[in-house]
Amino acid sequence: MKVVVIQGPNLNMLGHREQGIYGAMKLETIHAQMESVAKQNNLEIEFFQSNLEGEIVDKIQECLGDADGIIINPAAYTHTSIAIRDALSAVSLPAVEVHISNIYRREEFRHTSMTAPVCTGQISGFGPFGYHLALISMMQILSEVQAIRQEQEKTQKA
Active site residues: 22, 99
- Contact between residue 116 and residue 134 where contact means Cβ atoms under 8 Å apart: no
Q: How many CA atoms lie within 13 A of 114 on its CB side?
A: 16
User: What's the CA gap between 85 and 20, in Å, rounded?
Assistant: 29
| Residue 97: Cβ-neighbour burial (10 angstroms; 0-12, 13-18, 19+) | buried
